Amino acid sequence: MVGGLVTKGTTMTSDSDLDLGETRADVMAATRELDGSAVRDLLLDALLVRGVDATVTQVIMPVLKEVGDDWEAGRLGVVHEHFVSSAFRGVLGELRLPVQGGQARTVVLACPPRELHDLPLELFGAMLHARWWRVVSLGANSPMAATAEATRFLGADAVVLAGVRRTAFEARLPSLARLARTTPVFIAGQGARALAAPPPGVTVLPDDLVEAAMVVDAVRGRGTGGDADLGDEDAAEPVVG
């Protein structure tokens, strides 16, 4: 079965009607088999034929959700969760060619302190990259001070933070509001959506990744990133290992 998947994946189809439902099932099957080259070939095929938006929203995110749900239910092991995260990151990394030129805008991506669920944000970064954004990702559990520093250093045009837990944002509202004075700040994920109200100047992104990418992509011009400073509440930021 896995050999069949590899064969299919390496045959780069030119068919624009490539069935992403089928690809999704095949990626899921390859994940159960821990077959990294099959996952890679299937995803590269889909990315080349159907593009980043469709592949992320119709294949990668659903597989991520299914693996997460199966893991929680005990149908898959922690090994599958780690395997799929690593395989997806690898494929997306292969696509990330340098974005340069006057039209390129820069976005800083980060998960707030203590937030470890960074994979959906990385996938979102691939979608912004496909829209000619230079994506600078700080990853999981990023101190707000680091996010502000990167924003200032890069003169970033936008900042996107994502988190599953509401508390990841609740403790950071003053820092987020300060950052939003100089640079457009977007927050996303279940934690952001669960906030009673976002801090002033901060936009909550919709769960739909394509819609969310369009919201961020509407940002024009280079932000100053200038006076982004550190919040007092970040001073004694513990770092999760």
Q: Which of 26, 50, 80, 124 binds ligand B12 (CB under 6 A)?
A: 124
Query: In the complex with ligand B12, which residue's Cβ is closer, 1 or 82?
Result: 82
- The dihedral of CA 109, 112, 114, 120: what is its sign? negative
Q: Which of 63, 146, 188, 204 binds ligand B12 (CB under 6 A)?
A: 188
Closest to 28 measured CA to CA, from 16, 18, 17, 38: 38
Instruction: Please answer whether residues 109 and 135 qualify as being in contact, where contact means their C-beta atoms are separated by less than 8 angstroms.
Output: yes
User: Interface with ligand B12 includes 27 (CB under 6 A)?
Assistant: no
The two three-digit tokens of residue 194, written as one number: 């669960």
Query: In the complex with ligand B12, which residue's Cβ is closer, 13 or 86?
Result: 86
User: Interface with ligand B12 includes 224 (CB under 6 A)?
Assistant: no
Instruction: Please answer whether residues 228 and 201 qualify as being in contact, where contact means their C-beta atoms are separated by less than 8 angstroms.
Output: no
Query: In the complex with ligand B12, which residue's Cβ is closer, 81 or 157?
Result: 81
How many chain residues bind ligand B12 (CB under 6 A)? 29
Closest to 119 measured CA to CA, from 169, 167, 150, 82: 82
User: Interface with ligand B12 includes 19 (CB under 6 A)?
Assistant: no
Which residues, in sequence order, are CB contacts of 137 under 8 Å at separation 6+? 108, 109, 110, 121, 122, 125
Residue 106 β-bridge partners: 134
Quick note: the x/- pattern for ligand B12 over 40-79, rule CB under 6 A, is ---------------------x--xx--xx-xx-------
Q: Which of 54, 85, 181, 237 binds ligand B12 (CB under 6 A)?
A: 85
The residue number with the shortest CB distance to ligand B12 is 68
